[in-house]
Structure 1
């Protein structure tokens, strides 16, 4: 009970901080509004909300790009805080935030931010799970944790590459790996660098996609030679590291029986029989 209370207190404090930060926006841009005696300028008020589709993502990116020109520190602090909050408490939505990073900060600064924040946030999640949630992870996911533990032990001699394999080919969701690694006794340095390196292709794809979406103004722009060349480069960057890891895993890693959800039905049945 003490663990849940401590975790709730940290989550509550982080939520209040993020709420206060997001509600104290600087003055917004002035836009022409129709009036009874012609058009006049008035300040447009914005409300921040997490985007649920690409149109909302583009609108949010345009708004934050305006703020960045005049309030760079505020936008950087807000983005970093939101990203770390999402990662630390295992909340889905990293793809949208990565695309937002590319749209706001550009492809290279956005990629550096995404890699740094994804790794730092995952490490916070690891520490929170280690301090407050290990027993609850085992209680809520007993079979998945037991089977993942067995795979870790089978690949203990190549543990770093096994974790890289799981990041490149997400047979288990990233958030589940973050909260489970303390239970599996994964050393912190191995966890940290496996997250940093393993998520680079994914972060690159999302960030570059966000940068491209922020630059195009019509469907015709998507089929331009420049855009197609960028998309091809993104595909190659994503495929090459994955192909190398997969080639390495054939002779050295034991990943048989793991499906796209991390655990196959066959392994689940075998684990039940052992019990």
Structure 2
């Protein structure tokens, strides 16, 4: 019970901090909405984007602030990213695209990689301090499957974790909260996240950088845009192909599907 209270207190404190940070932006652009009575001018409200339209709208506003308040926008973005990653909240792909749209492809990629690794490490530490017993209680079969696979690949543990990051048979957030239960050393966890998520971050950041420059559907299907997206996909596939080739001879990942449930189903049939 104490662990849940402690975790709730941390989540509450982080939520208050992020709320105060997002509500103290300097005066910015107005958002115009049309209704039956005419046009109504409203202040733009910050929120996590849930689709591409919201993403582009948020990116345009933050780029406006960035010209005069670069440090504040950077702090706000880093805080929001770490909040999502630390508490295993889905939606990192939108934030990665937002990084590309606001900060550009290279600065955005560096930011995304550092924040993904830092946030995942915070999630690892929170799980280690407050949630070990709860992870096992709520996901006993998945934890048992991962435990078996970790023991089978103990001699190549780093590459096994890289494989799981490149080919997400288990969601990244679940790996973050489960690794403390599996007694994964912190350095191995840290560098497996840093290196293993580079292709994913690269795709999202570059896509966000491209989408921020698109003003119509015709731009999406232009030869230049399609060529850039194809190049991004090819560059991201190369590391994954190398890891997959290595896994065939050095790793034991048979029995795991995209949800990590294949081996569990087989065990039930045997019983």
Tell me the TM-score normalised to structure 2 length: 0.94
2:224 to 223, 226, 235: 226
Q: Distance in 2 between the 1:172 and 1:13 partners?
A: 29
User: CA offset at residue 33 of structure 1?
Assistant: 10
Q: Distance in 1 between the 2:221 and 2:22 partners?
A: 37
2:173 to 165, 172, 175: 175
Q: Distance in 1 between the 2:126 and 2:256 partners?
A: 27
Q: Distance in 2 between the 1:43 and 1:71 partners?
A: 23
2:96–2:204 CA contact under 8 A, matched in 1? yes
Q: Which residue of 2 aligns with 1:267?
A: 264
2:141–2:264 CA contact under 8 A, matched in 1? no
Q: Distance in 2 between the 1:32 and 1:220 partners?
A: 25
1:27–1:43 CA contact under 8 A, matched in 2? no
Q: Which residue of 2 aligns with 1:211?
A: 209
Q: Which residue of 2 aligns with 1:113?
A: 111
CA RMSD after TM alignment: 2.0
SS of the residue corresponding to residue 26 of structure 2 reads coil
Unaligned runs of 5+ in 1: none
Alignment of 1:90-239 (within 5 A): 90-239=88-237
Q: Distance in 1 between the 2:102 and 2:41 partners?
A: 22
| Residues paired across the two proteins, number | 267
Q: Distance in 2 between the 1:209 and 1:122 partners?
A: 22
SS of the residue corresponding to residue 92 of structure 1 reads coil
SS of the residue corresponding to residue 143 of structure 1 reads helix
Q: Distance in 1 between the 2:230 and 2:80 partners?
A: 31
Q: Which residue of 2 aligns with 1:14?
A: 14
User: CA offset at residue 31 of structure 1?
Assistant: 8.1
Listed one character per residue, the Cα deviations across residues 41-64 of structure 1 (whole Å, up to 9, x for unaligned) are x98522111111101110010011
